[in-house]
Chain A
Amino acid sequence: MIAWIISIISAILLFFIVWRKVSRKFRERCELPKFLFLKNLDAFGPTGRVSTQTQASQENHHGSNHS
């Protein structure tokens, strides 16, 4: 049974990895929350601590090296 469970879990994760690989749109969209988070921090976080500029994705910057 454990083999089945581990296989299904792996299949779910593989599904996301493959989706990310084949869909540029998904690749971009699934990185968006980290930018939105900075924006939220800017809007609701401490005064004058976070830049309002949307940062470029580090992963996208270093994408050629890492993905």
Chain B
Amino acid sequence: MTSDQISLANRYKFIRAHTYAAFAGLLVSAFFGLLVSIKFHAPGFLDGHGWDTWGRLRYDHTQGILYAWLGNAFLAFLYYAVPILARRNYTSERLGWVIFWAWNAVAVVGGWSLVLAGKSQPLEWAEFPLVIAAVIELSLLLLIIQFGLPFLRGGSAQLYVAGWYLMGGITFTAFAYPIGNIVPNVLPGAMGAAFSGLWIHDAVGVFITPFATAIAYFVIPAVTKKPIYSHFYSMIGFWLLFLVYPLNGIHHYVYSSVPMSAQHASEVASIYQGIDVIIVVTNLLLSIGVATEGTILRDIPLRFVWTSVVLYLIVSIEGSIQAVMAFNSFIHFTDWVIGHSHLAMIGFASFAAMGGIAHVWQQLPDVRSSRRLLAWSYWLIVIGLALMVLDLTGAGLVQADLWQQHLPWIDSVRASRPYWVFRTMDGCLLLTGFVTFGCSFFVGNRHPAAAGLKELSSSFPSSISADSHTDHWIATAYAATFGAGLLFFVVSFTALGILPAMQLHKTIAHTTPPGFQPTLTASEKHGQEIYARNGCAYCHTQQVRFTPADEWRFGSPTQAWETQAEFPQMWGTRRIGPDLARESGKRTTDWQLVHLYDPRVTVPDSMMPGYRWLFRGSADRPSQDALDLVSYLNQLGRAALLASSHEQTTPAAVTVSNTATRSQTVSELAMGKKVYMANCSGCHGIDGHGHSSSSRSLRPVAFDLAGFRLPPDRIWSALANGVPGTSMPSWNELPGSQFRAVGHYVLSLPDIAALRPDNQLAPHDTLMLAGKRIFDTHCTRCHGDTGDGNGTDASHNPRPPANFQQLEVSFPGATYVIRNGVPGSGMPAWPLLTPSETQAVTVYMRSMYRPVGPTQGTSGPITISSSKEDTR
């Protein structure tokens, strides 16, 4: 069927089909979003499978909003608007169905399923696997044939601005899409990130924005029946959008190793873009204001569009400010950015799409619509969105502030929790609004069957007046500018993608340390794939930025040469958990496994989902996938660590002074207990014994703080520097008061009481003699004759044997260790020792204790020899 033979009935079919698909996409995607939101504050919710893990649901949330909801809504609008704007019908009915099914059945449903099955790319706005990306690109090219050709046939001098935006959107998206989806798979790390950044912004700039703006320029005059304020300025806005927008993308990677010239370019372009939006929005608001003469907008679709226009201004100005590097260093990676993206995708894009399809629906014959429900949906969505954006913006500011302070990372997660709970409530309001919006299309009065659009074939309106000379020049100038736009598009990829990549290539060649192998082992490579497909990059960045806060917290900034093995890059754009670029050497493998199995065992209050489906029932029975993932995590930053080991001096260390004395107060112990419960109880247990099965999955198992008393300097040193070879990290980032408090609390934990006479199984001397005999027989090879830990076999143990001259032993602590051993330390279990033998050897070990200096909570405050002194 050719375009001339396409009937109105068929046009209605396409509008209805894409509208229904848009509703389905909106509801499913928003539902995914709600699940994701709930998991922030209830990480155990809907847990236990790969498909329902946070990262995969998040992938489908964003992809669904972009393609299933907005894509279909825009397509429905195209079938209505293009014939009116171009005065030509779309190209082919058969092509229309091909596009519909390719877009929905293959791309959306197929894409969702593949993502849930763990087949995805870790690239923002490009998460669908490559095979789906190919279908989407094919669909975009078909859109050019379906809707671009009618515009080309209609001429450009008299083309209304909405037509320009639609044509620009169709064309530029088809060009931009493969660059963001394919190039990062070919160019690694920093080089690929430059292209990813361009697509992240082009998805909004050349796909969402043109269609949403076209809807505004279409619906406003269609409803008010008056022309827009200025067509000239609308065209200035159009040209500026397409000439400048593609230059924005790198602002997602400022303070990274992408060349600074590209970062500055994106900053300048982002500010320039703000000027464009002011022009566009001023023109649109003047068009509405003058046409309605300030009266209330009684037309609900127009109300949606008006809101979209106002929020377009707000979100764009916000975006321009976010791109300014000084501000970016503060709020980047926080929930502020998530608030910003919701404002863009719901506030601007979705309000325009809802206004557009609601307007179109009102023109269709023989369908139902309810003005009342539509009005309800408007207010529900407006209120839900306003609350959500304010909530996320507040959360972002809190997170940014905490990240600037020298506080443990988990503090920002704890502080965010109330905001995340509130966000779920906002999400419920939004989802209710979306459902109400959809329902308004199925209830209410039925439109007369005789209503509807007019046949295109009746008569084409001619130009308003003939002035072929001027029209020719205008057409030429517009065509030249559109061509320049396409050229600039290529230039933008050259300036902000290809040239930085070339520069990075040179930088990498000069800076790569000798001997560096830019490849991963098979296990690490597989781990990288698991990391990618589960959306880990959405919570953990892998780029330490060149900012003081990042360097203090994570270490040296990520250099371009380190990222040579990243196909594609996994820098991420959000931090819910800490950056992982310097993970190598920080944690032991068993800590990583326990954390992966149940994150809250090792990090109380963590919101990370557990990955139990990567294990066979317990943390100490990992699948090969889990081992490979940990293997990948453990190599992150290893190259930089090795490269710096020859250059750097010993990392700033905290030294301890035993000479100062300090008496801990009750309030300090209370604070210490609070800090302990929040940060330490996961491994060491609520009572300090650390006997839970999860704690004992660590190798070596967590130290029994209640059963053994270490010298105070060992406690302070472990808190400050961690304990190499164990899962004990440094807690040097705790504020001074909390650091001291938790130290004193830990020092107060051991209960080293002597045996009560009624518990003594033999006279003391008898126990001593028997204990010495048992010790000499079983223990001296490791612990030494005098119990100083220097036995002949001491060096064969994975951990230095206990030095009983410095370690005070409690009877319950020793009994537990003798019975169960200390897995991971070399200390075996001695289950055959009888209770009296166990008591005897404990009495003997206790007799070896020779404390030096203060023994319990009397030592303290420590002296610091690092730059982190301000935290104490």
**What residues of chain A have their CB less than 8 Å away from a CB belonging to chain B?**
1-2, 5-6, 9, 12-13, 15-17, 19-20, 23, 25-27, 29-47, 49-51, 54-55, 57-59, 62, 66-67
* B474 close to A44 (CB less than 8 A): no
Q: Are B229 and A37 in contact (CB under 8 A)?
A: no
Number of interface residues of B (CB under 8 A): 65
What are 15 A-B pairs with beta-carbon distances under 8 A?
A: A2-B495, A5-B495, A6-B272, A9-B244, A25-B467, A26-B470, A29-B471, A30-B231, A32-B231, A32-B463, A36-B461, A44-B87, A44-B453, A46-B452, A51-B225
How far, in Å, is A24 (CB) from chain B's closest CB?
10
Contacts of B160 in A (CB 8 A): 33-34, 36-37, 40
Q: Which residues of A contact B85 (CB under 8 A)?
A: 37, 40
Interface of B is mostly: helix
Measured between C-beta atoms, what is the minimum distance from A6 to chain B in Å? Answer: 6
Question: Does A30 contact B236, Cβ atoms closer than 8 Å?
Answer: no
- B159 at the binding interface (Cβ < 8 Å): yes
- Which A residues lie within 8 Å of B240 (CB)? 9, 13
Chain B residues contacting A29 (CB-CB under 8 Å) are: 157, 467, 470-471, 474
Beyond contacts A37-B85, A37-B160: 12 other A-B pairs, Cβ-Cβ < 8 A, are A6-B269, A9-B272, A12-B243, A13-B236, A33-B161, A33-B231, A34-B160, A34-B161, A34-B221, A47-B453, A58-B286, A66-B230
Q: Is B813 in contact with chain A by the CB < 8 A criterion?
A: no
Q: Complex: how many Å from CA A38 to CA B229?
A: 13
Residue on B with the closest CB to A30?
A: B232
Contact with A along B237-249 (1 / 0, CB 8 A): 0011001100100
Give chain A residues whose Cβ lies under 8 Å from the Cβ of B247: 2, 5
Q: Are A16 and B464 in contact (CB under 8 A)?
A: no
* Complex interface: chain B residues within 8 A of A13 (CB): 236, 239-240
A39-B222 in contact (CB<8A): no
- Does the CB pair B463–A36 fall under 8 Å? yes
CB–CB B232/A44 < 8 A: no
**Chain B residue at minimal CB-CB distance from A45:** B84
Residues of chain B with a CB closer than 8 A to A41's CB: 84, 221-222
A59-B488 contact given A1-B499, A16-B477, A33-B161, CB 8 Å threshold: no
Task: From the candidates A12, A25, A33, A57, name the one contacting B470 in the complex (CB within 8 A).
Answer: A25
Residue B432 interfacial (CB < 8 Å) = no
Contact partner, B363, options A20, A40, A46, Cβ 8 Å: A46
- Tell me, in angstroms, the Cα distance from A63 to B221 when the chains sit together: 19
Residues of chain B lying within 8 A (CB to CB) of residue A16? 232, 235-236, 239, 477, 481
CB distance from A62 to the nearest CB of B (A): 7
Q: Which residues of A contact B495 (CB under 8 A)?
A: 1-2, 5
Q: Closest B-chain residue to A26, C-beta based?
A: B470
State how many angstroms separate the Cβ of A27 from the closest Cβ of chain B. Answer: 7
For the A-B complex, the count of residue pairs with Cβ-Cβ distances under 8 Å equals 162
B755 within 8 A of A: no
- Take A27-B232, A37-B85, A41-B84 as given contacts and tell me if A32 and B158 are in contact as well, using a CB distance cutoff of 8 Å: yes
Known contacts A9-B240, A38-B221, A58-B290; A30 and B363 CB within 8 A of each other: no
In the bound complex, CA of A43 to CA of B462 (Å): 11
Closest B-chain residue to A9, C-beta based?
B243
Q: Which residues of B contact A30 (CB under 8 A)?
A: 231-232, 235, 474
Interface residues of B in 361-411 (CB under 8 A from A): 362-363
Tell whether, in the assembled complex, residue A39 and residue B461 are in contact, meaning their CB atoms are under 8 Å apart.
Answer: yes
Cβ–Cβ contact B484 & A12, under 8 A? yes
Q: Is the CB of A58 within 8 A of B291?
A: yes
Any A CB within 8 A of the CB of B456 = yes
Contact with A along B311-352 (1 / 0, CB 8 A): 000000000000000000000000000000000000000000
Residues of B within 8 A of A49 (CB): 222, 225, 363
Which B residues touch A67, using CB under 8 A? 230
The answer to whether A44 touches B226, judged by C-beta atoms less than 8 angstroms apart, is: no
Main SS class of interface, A: helix
Smallest CB–CB gap between B294 and chain A, Å? 14
Query: What 9 pairs between A and B have smallest CB-CB spacing?
Result: A2-B265, A34-B227, A37-B160, A46-B363, A33-B160, A34-B231, A59-B230, A9-B243, A39-B461
The answer on a CB contact under 8 Å between A36 and B229 is no
For residue B443, CB closer than 8 A to chain A, the reply is no
Q: Given the complex of chains A and B, what is the CA–CA distance between A1 and B495 in angstroms?
A: 7
| B451 in the interface (beta carbon within 8 A) | yes
Chain A residues contacting B157 (CB-CB under 8 Å) are: 29
Given contacts A25-B467, A36-B464, A58-B290, contact A12 B225 (CB under 8 A): no
CB proximity of B85 to chain A, nearest CB, Å: 7
B665 at the interface (CB under 8 A from A): no
Query: Cβ of B287 < 8 Å from any Cβ of A?
Result: yes
Residues of A contacting B504 in the complex (Cβ-Cβ under 8 angstroms):
none
Does any Cβ of A come within 8 Å of B459's Cβ? yes
The 8 Å CB contact of B229, one of A12, A23, A59, is A59
- Closest Cβ of chain A to B761, distance in Å, is 83
Is there an interface contact between A62 and B158, defined as CB atoms closer than 8 Å?
no
Whether a CB of chain A sits under 8 angstroms from the CB of B735 is no
Q: Which of these, B226, B227, B451, contacts A46 with CB under 8 Å?
A: B451
Tell me if B268 is interfacial: C-beta within 8 Å of chain A: yes
Which chain B residues lie closer than 8 Å to A31 at the CB level? 230-232
Residues of chain B contacted by A26 (CB below 8 angstroms): 470, 473-474
The reply to whether the CB of B162 lies closer than 8 angstroms to some CB of chain A is yes
Instruction: Tell me the complex Cα distance, A40–B474, Å.
Output: 20
Whole-angstrom distance from the CB of A13 to the nearest CB of chain B?
A: 6
Flag if B451 contacts A54 (CB, 8 Å): no
State whether the Cβ of B454 lies closer than 8 Å to any Cβ in chain A.
yes
Shortest Cβ distance from B451 into A: residue: A47
With a cutoff of 8 Å between Cβ atoms, the chain A residues found around residue B264 in the complex are 2
Quick check: B453 and A45 within 8 Å, CB to CB? yes
- Are A33's CB and B461's CB within 8 A? no
A30 to B461, CA, bound (A): 18
Any A CB within 8 A of the CB of B848: no
B467-486 toward A: CB 8 Å interface, digit per residue (1/0)? 10011011001000100100
Q: How far is the CA of A66 from the CA of B286 in the complex (A)?
A: 11
Q: How far, in whole Å, are A30 and B230 apart by their CA atoms in the complex?
A: 9
B235-A38 in contact (CB<8A):
no
CA distance A5 to B499 in the complex (A): 14
A38 vs B235: C-alpha distance when bound (angstroms) = 17
Binary contact readout B577-594 vs A (1 if CB under 8 angstroms, 0 otherwise): 000000000000000000
- B265 contacts A1, CB within 8 Å? yes
